[in-house]
Amino acid sequence: MGRVSVALGLTRPLMVRTVPIADPGDLLARLPEPAPYAWIRHGEGMAAWGEAARAAVPPGADRFAWARDWLGHVLGEADIDDEVRTPGTGPVAFGSFTFDPDSPGSVLVVPKILFGRRGGRAWLTTIGDTSLDVVSPLRDPGTILYGDGGLTAPEWTHAVARAVERIRAGELEKVVLARDLEVFAEHPIDVRLLLTRLARRYPECYTFSCAGLVGATPELLVRHTGEAIESLVLAGTIARGASPADDTARGAALLASDKDRHEHACAVESVRDALAPLCKELTVPHRPELLVLPNVQHLASPVSGRLSEGASVLDVVAAMHPTAAVGGTPTATALTLIRELEGMDRAGYAGPVGWIDARGDGEWGIALRCGRVGGDRARLFAGAGIMADSVPSAELAEAQAKFRVMQYALEG
């Protein structure tokens, strides 16, 4: 606990108050410009700002245990006056963990002011003596230019081809390769504008913002409410069609694709293996369904269960990350190949992102369809699952389709 106390830098417990409020309307419209935090789906969730406590989580294999201890210290010792008592009330920590455990950049933040809404109830949480900031108009970033990230498109397709060779040689079954794009904006990028566009266009996704990482992920790693947990496994993707008939045909082709079904089965198996030791009940569907988003269709499997006594949501996050949907199978071999072929550090891309409250309830997603934003620059990420029969040009097209989410948020 010594390292926790040093990282915390607090001399007294947080003084937290949560009160019920009338429906605040658009939660994102409440945000002032600097450093917002958000977790929104179908208009519900939380929008917050300010920092009552912050920790840079040390990299390493024990980072989730360190984070659990820090949260236990900060949230467990808080002086809480909570008149609402529902998931997301009282003190809440937003978090983002890097994909690679050895990469720095994982962070936990307890914001000072938070607006929340869920299931017909709305609330305001404040920590300490705070006042609501003035909300300024959203700012457009102006002209957007893109540049190559770690690899150019031809270099990345070559990396995919090399991965296919390694898979066919029997070294591994699947690997997820990601690429990045550099963004140069005419004016500083207003994160609130990105969040507003994402939440409106992709309401079924989890629109998030945490310490500069912004996106709208379709993939729920875990939702924790009491003992109950839920997860949504996504693997296997196809672009939307040009017409309703084309769209239907593409969905049917995805469901019938041996490559995509096998890729999905690998992802489901990795989630089952991770959750089974932590759960006293676990329900996993026998076959996937389609999740249809504005830009792509995914194979999806909703998983549910009940945690055993003593297991926390961060134990679940630690056990599940990285899933085969963002890493590969087997995991250790896939991670080695990712480091060899990608030519970049993923930072928070494909890592866990979400929130947790003092009761241990929370929601954590996988940071997909996202970018890291700072000033007039950003870095966008997208990836694709590579199997033995993957075609490099098709995988590049899939990654480009996923880039379009954040490109829309930037360009409108």
Specify whether the CB–CB gap between 234 and 61 falls below 8 A. no
Specify whether the CB–CB gap between 380 and 402 falls below 8 A. no
Tokens of 178: 């990601």
- Known catalytic residue: 219? yes
Choose the catalytic residue: 33, 219, 342, 363.
Answer: 219
Q: What is the rounded CA–CA span in Å between residue 181 and residue 90?
A: 38
Q: What is the rounded CA–CA span in Å between residue 19 and residue 14?
A: 16
Choose the catalytic residue: 33, 174, 363, 398.
Answer: 174
Q: How many Cα atoms sit within 13 Å of 275 on the Cβ side? A: 29
- DSSP for 94-145, written as a single string: EEE--SSTTSS--EEEE-SEEEEEETTEEEEEEESS--PPPPPPP----SEE
- DSSP for 232-271, written as a single string: EEEEEEEEPPSSHHHHHHHHHHHHH-HHHHHHHHHHHHHH
**Residue 390 Ramachandran class (φ > 0 left, ψ -120 to 50 alpha, else beta):** beta
Q: Which amino acid is at 113?
A: I
Would you call 410 exposed, middle or buried from its count of C-beta atoms within 10 A (0-12, 13-18, 19+)? Answer: buried
Tokens of 375: 């000033």
Which residues are identified as catalytic?
A: 174, 219
